[in-house]
Amino acid sequence: MAGRIFILSVVALCVLFFLDRNQQPLVHPPGVLVAEKPVQVDLQPSLFTFDDYQLTRRARFEMRARVLSIEPYYMKRESDLSPLDLALGWGVMSDQAVLDQIDITQGGRWYHTRYQLPSPAPEQQISASSSNMHMIPATRSIARQLKNLRVGDVIKLAGLLVDADHESGWFWRTSMSRTDTGAGACEIVFVEALSVE
């Protein structure tokens, strides 16, 4: 009996170690990891049904980015559609030397940066080179991929920027710009393809 408990304890510790290791942020050498900006091609708006929602295609959207933060959501109407947000960075916001000087947090569908002055990069570049994005997985497979991402991963994703409406009267509108800030500045991304580099 004691031997069995010992073996189970060792297995449990190994599992916890493995899970904890996978949750640790990836650290990269200094330098810009993602030089290119997201690519957006605006579309003539058109509707499609997804689960209980009417989604409106606003733009075709592709990007490479570094994952800055991940926040899952379980409450409220939008969590049914978008179970997690990703704070994503490119340009200066993919540079480890810059990110080491910035505290990044998410909550309430918002993304926040905090740093000491002088800022580690021009403030306009910090805001224009990162964004909080609400992720709508197009398939269960993509939902699993999103859940398995780690802070520090460099990802490539493709899909659509969409607006969302529900028959209850609830609605959500996507940002169409990477330079806006404040309420309404988050992109709503219908993710059709996702890979980690």
The pLDDT of residue 77: 83
Helix (H), strand (E) at residue 80: helix 77-81
Helix (H), strand (E) at residue 11: helix 2-23
The pLDDT of residue 9: 47
Bridge pairing between strands 154-166 and 171-172? antiparallel
**Per-residue pLDDT for 167 more than 50?**
yes
pTM of the model: 0.86
- 73 vs 77, 85, 114, 147, CA distance in Å? 10, 8, 22, 11
pLDDT tens-digit map of 55-101: 999 999 999 999 999 999 998 888 999 999 999 999 999 999 999 99
Buried/exposed 82-94: b ≥16 CB within 10 Å, e otherwise: bbbbbbbbbbbbb
Helix (H), strand (E) at residue 162: strand 154-166
Long-range CB contacts for residues 81-84, cutoff 8 Å, separation at least 24: 81/50, 81/51, 81/53, 81/136, 81/164, 81/172, 82/134, 82/135, 82/136, 82/188, 83/135, 83/137, 83/143, 83/146, 83/147, 84/135, 84/146, 84/147
The pLDDT of residue 82: 97
pLDDT tens-digit map of 17-61: 434 444 788 999 999 999 999 999 999 999 999 999 999 999 999
The residue behind tokens 């499609």 is: 48
Average pLDDT for 163-192:
94
The pLDDT of residue 20: 43
Task: Output DSSP code: residue 129.
Answer: T
pLDDT tens-digit map of 104-158: 999 999 999 999 999 999 999 999 999 999 999 999 999 999 999 999 999 999 9
The pLDDT of residue 142: 97
The pLDDT of residue 181: 87
Angle at 8 between CA 4 and CA 10, to 5 degrees: 115
Here the tokens at position 60 are 């075709």
C-alpha 85/C-alpha 71 separation (Å) is 5
pLDDT classification of 1: cutoffs 50, 70, 90: low
